[in-house]
Amino acid sequence: MRIIKTIYLLFLTENRKCKNVLHIRGIMTRLPSSLERLIDQLRKLPGVGAKTAERYAFRLMEWKTESVLALAQSLAALHQELRYCSVCHCLQDTKPCTLCDPNHRDPSSLCIVAYAKDIYPIESTKAFKGMYHALGALFSPIMGQNAETIDLYKIQKRVEEHSIQDIILAFDATLDGDATALFLKEEMKDWNVNISRLAFGIPLGSSLDYVDPGTLTRALLGRHRF
């Protein structure tokens, strides 16, 4: 008798759980279309799944109207006010672009980055005063991207035009970053410029115990006189 009662109670619990699921699904299908549209857009962001997008959307509903409008205006301004410079391919909201203007930057050195966003961490150091050039893509043999993705002629033209002496390759320490750096080094060997790449090594403030073998190997190979 006790066993039958237990089975009955379990059945009731499971049935209630199922009803909740159906109930939740029922709410999901009744989401206002404007909210569903917002969730669909938010889901396009990297690292944002369906549940996170839903949470963001409901949180935005709690914002004051002026705050939501300010966010909407900022998003709209991204494409209305920003564009990629036709010379250096960095983002610019002024005319002419100051990042490739020799009157604003040291024209003797050029820092080549993979993407326009990569210049901002370098700029924040205030240690580099030269000009930039964003490739827009890395040479990735594994992904089947060939060297034609890199517009070498444009870089060469800038080197000749401004008599650039130093070229700094500032790429990620990845396979694609290494492949692109090696490719550029080979292609630029007759350009009469000094080519260097950002040093790899031990992060500031870190202990050797916590540095991975790959980083430590690079630090050893890239060591300099002290």
Cα within 13 Å of Cα(4), Cβ side: 1
Structure tokens at 76: 């709209």
Residue carrying structure tokens 């350009």: 191
Q: Establish if 135 lies at the interface with Zn ion (CB under 5 A).
A: no
Of 41-49, 93-101, 104-112, 178-186, the segment contacting Zn ion by CB under 5 A is: 93-101
Which of 39, 88, 112, 119 touches Zn ion (CB under 5 A)? 88
* CA-CA-CA-CA torsion sign (132, 108, 166, 154): positive
Q: How far is the CB of 100 from Zn ion (least distance, A)?
A: 3
Q: Establish if 38 lies at the interface with Zn ion (CB under 5 A).
A: no
**Looking at beta carbons only, is 39 or 91 nearer to Zn ion?**
91
Of 71-79, 96-104, 177-185, 217-225, the segment contacting Zn ion by CB under 5 A is: 96-104
Q: Establish if 97 lies at the interface with Zn ion (CB under 5 A).
A: yes
Which of 53, 100, 135, 168 touches Zn ion (CB under 5 A)? 100
Cα within 13 Å of Cα(52), Cβ side: 9
Which of 87, 91, 134, 169 touches Zn ion (CB under 5 A)? 87
84 within 8 A of 116, measured Cβ to Cβ = yes
- Residue partners of 195: CB distance under 8 A and separation at least 6: 167, 169, 184, 185, 188
Q: Establish if 170 lies at the interface with Zn ion (CB under 5 A).
A: no
Q: Which residues bind Zn ion (CB under 5 A)?
A: 85, 87-88, 97, 99-100
